[in-house]
Structure 1
């Protein structure tokens, strides 16, 4: 029934990376190292990361008819991604300008280019890809109306994963489809509003769940992740009468409980965090499609993200399944 474990609908960029001693303040100029050009973009990154882990993966995206576009398509095909859904033309390939400091932290500015021309019509034309994919994952480096169309085009039983990056307010229709919504601290606070977000990842997760997603994952960098899922009163009673439930449980009202579980990562020496969040999301989405629980999938994804930060670049840093198991 399914041709693909994962369909990624999203961006494909050329990453222009410069190492700096420190990231500049407003109005300041700093000198950096030599410019390096890498294939990137959250959509392409997720597709490559999943394929390197062993997932049957396809990408729906748009690139320009230029050197950066050819670089991206070559990288995708080398990783084993099905590029039948990669459309060419309409605008130059998107570009991300990335500065990386000695600790491995980065700052990123994105020029969307062709990513901004990925339309709802493109999604409807790719109905065959959506119908034959176990899980569909998107981000917000493509137009929001295109993400909405992905939600509306999901086949019955299809699972939708969203990393809302760069963050913005989301329509209820999109939030209700997320299973899970994957956010870091910054993304959680933008969606909720700083004053309403609360002080802890548990607060963010519970308040995000109250907005409508079926589940939420908060990424915590070197500390791993936190997963949160809603449980109905019937499910809670079933759990209490049988096996116990791991993690904390708190009510959000309306006869619904929230189960919150922290998932640890592994300690590594970080070299470059570029693309680590994309590797995490790809690994989690793939594992969910294989039948893993959300906590199990997040635990595996945390190991994948940890492996990715030990090497420079985005797609070049993504591990194989064997490398993850060796951590």
Structure 2
């Protein structure tokens, strides 16, 4: 395995997460009292950039916030985590993206996203180097993601969430697609994709080449505090592990361990150890040196 982690550039959403924690999720038309309110940095793009930086990858963020107090807080949170924010646009007239989230005592959640500035930025003037790994999600405009795929010169990864129909051009450009099991079912075209990582929650994760399972790894048992940032931490870890030279099974195991730590943390942008410590931990658990 290489000792030098590759650069990761994340093109994606930056949100303020407004979270109500309750005993259980409300049903349609139901009001539940006794909630606890909190606010914290979020957005799938920002979560993945922060996770990559904390795992000791050099992360760069491409996205947008509004010219408001929330936007300034999001930029400060990214910078303090070690993320390069020079590519984040501050848009006058657009509010910073906001996610309204309800989380129950088991960590399950309901989320409504108000995109704000995430729906208004472009990649005009943005370029990517030949050794730059680019990671996108679908909380920004599909046109922006497609443009990123066209501009990216190196390894291009799509976390296809939230699920939607994807243009053939975009799928053909992806070196790797990452989804959960529900998203995998909702996007039939992924069965023909070159390489797809699928997460199954407590049942671990697997890798598929053109619809054929080629690797899998079990999940670690963990007490769930919050599932919001776990998938994003998994994405960042898997990309870093693969680009560092780990094989599919080992990379999945490392990403599962990172995701397990994220699930146990109440933050959407959880504190994580360096990637090397997860590599050592999972190698020791398997009994096979990597």
Correspondence for 2:225: 271
Q: Structure 1 residue aligned with 2:63, among 38, 61, 64? A: 61
Deviates more, 1:270-279 or 1:292-301: 292-301
Please list, as runs of the form range in 1=range in 2, the aligned pairs for 1:175-186 lying within 5 A after superposition: 175-186=171-182
Aligned residues: 276
Which of 117, 141, 162 matches 1:114? 117
CA shift, 1:107, in A, is 1.2
Moved over 6 A (4+): none
Deviation at residue 56 of structure 1 after TM alignment:
0.7
Relative to its length, the structure with more helix (as a share) is 1
Matches of 2:169 and 2:57, distance apart in 1: 28
How far is 1:190 from its partner? 1.9
- CA positional deviation for 1:50: 0.6
Match of 2:36 in 1: 34
Contact map agreement 1:4 1:57 (CA 8 A) in 2: no
Deviation for aligned residue 1:191: 1.4
Please give the root-mean-square deviation of Cα atoms over the aligned residues, in Å.
Answer: 2.0
Query: For 1:184 and 1:276, how far apart are their aligned partners in 2?
Result: 11
What is the aligned partner in structure 1 of residue 285 from structure 2? none
What's the CA shift for 1:179? Answer: 2.2
Report what 1:174 is aligned to: 170
Runs of 5+ unmatched residues, structure 2: 283-290
Which residue does 1:89 correspond to in 2? 91
1:131 corresponds to which residue? 129
Instruction: Determine the structure 2 residue equivalent to 1:76.
Output: 78
Counterpart contact for 1:135–1:286, Cα < 8 Å: no
Partner of 1:235: none
Structure 1 spans left out of the alignment, 5+ residues: 193-206, 231-251, 253-257
Q: Could you tell me how far apart the structure 2 residues matched to 1:326 and 1:284 are? A: 15
CA deviations on 1:213-248 (whole Å, 9 max, x unpaired) are 220111011221011124xxxxxxxxxxxxxxxxxx
- Going from structure 1 to structure 2, the CA distance change for 1:280 and 1:24 (only over 3 Å counts) comes to same
Q: Which has the larger radius of gyration?
A: 1
- CA separation in 2, counterparts of 1:144 and 1:54? 29
Which of 93, 107, 110 is the aligned partner of 1:104? Answer: 107
Distance across 1 between alignment mates of 2:86 and 2:5: 13
- TM-superposed deviation, 1:133: 4.7
Judge conservation of contact 1:77–1:83 (CA < 8 Å) in 2: yes
Structure 1 residues 72 and 287: alpha-carbon distance in aligned structure 2, compared to 1, 3 A threshold: same
Q: For 1:295 and 1:6, how far apart are their aligned partners in 2? A: 21
Distance across 2 between alignment mates of 1:323 and 1:33: 36
- 1:137-148 residue pairs with structure 2 within 5 A? 137-148=135-146
